[in-house]
């Protein structure tokens, strides 16, 4: 197959050539360490300062509230571990939503081994945190609530503002992982009301290996990467200057082109969803039907396992990801889909399609056509597919 179609933008995106251009000088001629006193070092200090100012302005924060990290996972780790230990004298109960990214879930489980108690906040059938249940889960010794801005697997947006109001009322810190939301939705930390927020450049056409943790001024959390005086002595390690410059430029472009990109990408997504629902029987759209990321479509294909779907699409040049156990390398299917109450069979048959600004309607149509053929073939192979059902026909059309 010559054709290569990339529908996995929630995993990562290509670096925008305009971003790369901004980064390149900082690999070669402007290579200095911003911590160095001499001319070479001083030359890069302003680049890092500018990047920080740009990021701060774009998310409605102060420059002093922006910390550069090695990516979303480090930022999530820092927020959760840093807050948990800093507040441990007040209480050792933490709440994270059941649909958080593994960067949060795994970290929370580590903290459970170190004397913290963790409640995994329940979600509804669409993957949105249940506010009433969350309120009931908050105890006097709760110090931290972590709820992502938008879910990486099913794209559902969380009621972050409402959760922020609740946390404020209860005197609990709120952290929101905005890795999937940044660049796709308008983000303003003051408007959202979160005390901490994280994101990562490679999700919005920036480089990999660089992210941000916003920490509201006045809030003191523990460091987790200890070392030199970088990031106001809060995060050691030589600043990745080209990456930081790239992150800021990528965010600037994403925000300035946000409306047109979101409109375009969501039109592709809607075309895809419409066609799949009309033309392939026994499918389920996972996540909220409207309240979701513009780029995300997540479907379960009944009687079919997700990894075999993924590889069949891959053989036709179409790149997607799957929540099946077999694709993740574990034995459990997606914790997100299970938390939403999806039966295990459907969770194993889930595939995520995430669109980007370089995709076209023709690619969407090609993928749907390929998908129809693949699902037919895999269902013919499946011992679960009931003999009395016609593979190619919708139940209501019989």
Partner 1 sequence: MYTEKVMEAFRNPKNVGEMEDYDGMGMIGSEACGDIMQVFIKVKDGVITDAKFKTFGCAAAIATSSTATEMIKGMTVEEALKVTNKKVIDVLGGLPPQKIHCSVLAEQAIKAAIEDYQNRHAAKQI
> What residues are labeled active site?
326
Nearer to partner 1, 232 or 387 (CB): 387
Q: What is the 3-state secondary structure (H, E, C) of 9-75?
A: CCCCCCCCHHHHHHHHHHCCCCCCCCCCCCHHHHHHHHHHHHHHHHHHHHHCCCHHHEEEECCHHHH
From the CB of 334, what's the least distance to partner 1, in Å? 11
**Nearest CA to 245 among 29, 32, 52, 66?**
52
CB nearer to partner 1: give 102 or 227: 102
The answer to whether 1 contacts partner 1 (rule: CB under 8 A) is no
| # residues near partner 1 by CB under 8 A | 23
Q: Residue 48 Cβ, how far from partner 1 at the closest point, in Å? A: 38
Would you give the DSSP letter of residue 145? E
From 220, 147, 208, select the one nearest 177 (Cα to Cα).
Answer: 147
As measured in angstroms, the least distance from the Cβ of 392 to partner 1 is 17
Backbone angles phi, psi at 319, to 5 degrees: -100, 120
Distances from the Cα of 366 to the Cαs of 13, 349, 359, 369, in angstroms? 21, 21, 11, 5
Closer residue to partner 1 in complex, CB, 21/314: 314
Nearer to partner 1, 165 or 326 (CB): 326
Stretch that binds partner 1, among 109-117, 148-156, 362-370, 379-387 (CB under 8 A): 379-387
Provide, rounded to whole angstroms, the least separation between the CB of residue 332 and partner 1: 9
Distance of alpha carbon 11 from alpha carbon 248, whole angstroms: 20
By CB under 8 A, name the one of 269, 288, 348, 352 that touches partner 1: 348
Give, as ranges, the residues between 211 and 240 that touch partner 1 (CB under 8 A).
none
- By the rule CB under 8 A, 104 interacts with partner 1: no
- Closest by CA position to 134, among listed 116, 143, 122: 122
383 binds partner 1 (CB under 8 A): yes
Q: Does 382 bind partner 1 (CB under 8 A)?
A: yes
Q: Which stretch binds partner 1 (CB under 8 A): 18-26, 85-93, 172-180, 378-386?
A: 378-386
d(Cα 210, Cα 72) in Å, to the nearest integer?
Answer: 8
- Of residues 150, 239, 266, 201, the one with CA closest to residue 20: 201
Whole-angstrom distance, CA of residue 9 vs CA of residue 14: 9
What is the rounded distance in angstroms from the CA atom of residue 158 to the CA atom of residue 148? 7
Query: By CB under 8 A, which span of 20-28, 233-241, 242-250, 344-352 interacts with partner 1?
Result: 344-352
36 or 391, CB closer to partner 1? 391
Site for partner 1 contains 375 (CB under 8 A): no
| Region of residue 254 (left: phi > 0; alpha: psi -120 to 50; beta: else) | alpha
The Cα 99–Cα 148 span in angstroms is: 8
Q: Which is nearer to partner 1, 9 or 348 (CB)?
A: 348
Contact in structure between 91 and 145 (CB atoms under 8 Å): no
> Smaller CB distance to partner 1: residue 148 or 325?
325
x/- map, 184-213, partner 1, by CB under 8 A: ------------------------------
352 near partner 1, rule: CB under 8 A: no
To partner 1, the closest distance from the beta carbon of 314 in angstroms equals 9
Question: Of the two residues 71 and 306, which places its CB atom closer to partner 1 in the complex?
Answer: 306
Among 21, 135, 188, 344, contact with partner 1 (rule: CB under 8 A): 344
393 contributes a contact to partner 1 by CB under 8 A:
no
The angle at the Cα of 177, spanning 22 to 252, to the nearest 5 degrees, equals: 25
Contact by Cβ (8 Å): 69, 265: no
Q: Return the residue matching tokens 């075309």.
A: 271
User: Strands 5-6, 318-319: parallel, antiparallel or unpaired by DSSP?
Assistant: parallel
Enumerate residues 276-335 that contact partner 1 by CB under 8 A. Answer: 303-305, 307-308, 311, 315, 324-327, 329-331, 333
Residue ranges binding partner 1 (CB under 8 A):
303-305, 307-308, 311, 315, 324-327, 329-331, 333, 344-345, 348, 380-384
């Amino acid at each position: 197959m010559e054709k290569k179609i990339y529908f996995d933008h929630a995993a990562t995106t290509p670096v925008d050539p305009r971003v790369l251009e901004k980064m390149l000088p900082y690999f070669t001629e402007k290579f200095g360490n911003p911590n160095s006193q001499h001319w070479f070092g001083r030359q890069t200090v302003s680049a890092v300062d500018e990047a920080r100012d740009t990021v701060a302005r774009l998310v409605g924060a102060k420059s002093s509230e922006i910390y550069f990290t090695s990516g979303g996972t480090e930022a999530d780790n820092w927020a959760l571990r840093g807050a948990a230990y800093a507040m441990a004298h007040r209480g050792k109960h933490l709440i994270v939503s059941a649909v958080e990214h593994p960067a949060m879930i795994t970290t929370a489980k580590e903290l459970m081994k170190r004397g913290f108690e963790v409640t995994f906040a329940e979600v509804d059938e669409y993957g949105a945190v249940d506010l009433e249940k969350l309120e009931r889960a908050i105890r006097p010794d709760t110090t931290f609530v972590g709820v992502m801005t938008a879910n990486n697997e099913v794209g559902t947006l969380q009621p972050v503002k409402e959760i922020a109001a609740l946390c404020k009322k209860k005197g609990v810190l709120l952290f929101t992982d905005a890795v999937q939301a940044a660049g796709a939705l308008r983000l303003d930390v003051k408007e959202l009301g979160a005390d901490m927020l994280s994101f990562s450049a490679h999700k919005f056409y920036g480089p990999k290996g660089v992210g941000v943790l916003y920490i509201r001024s006045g809030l003191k959390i523990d460091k987790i990467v200890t070392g030199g005086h970088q990031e106001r002595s809060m995060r050691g390690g030589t600043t990745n200057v080209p990456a930081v410059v790239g992150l800021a430029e990528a965010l600037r472009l994403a925000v300035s082109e946000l409306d047109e990109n979101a409109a375009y990408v969501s039109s592709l997504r809607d075309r895809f969803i419409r066609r799949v629902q009309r033309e392939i029987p026994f499918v389920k759209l996972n996540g909220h039907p409207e309240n979701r990321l513009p780029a995300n479509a997540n479907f379960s294909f009944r009687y079919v396992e997700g990894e075999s779907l993924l590889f069949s699409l891959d053989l036709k040049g179409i790149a997607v990801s799957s929540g099946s156990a077999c694709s993740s390398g574990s034995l459990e299917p997606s914790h997100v889909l299970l938390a939403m109450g999806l039966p295990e069979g459907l969770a194993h048959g889930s595939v995520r399609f995430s669109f980007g600004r370089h995709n076209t309607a023709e690619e969407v149509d090609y993928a749907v056509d390929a998908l129809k053929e693949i699902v037919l073939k895999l269902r013919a192979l499946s011992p679960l597919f009931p003999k009395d059902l016609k593979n190619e026909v919708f139940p209501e059309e019989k």
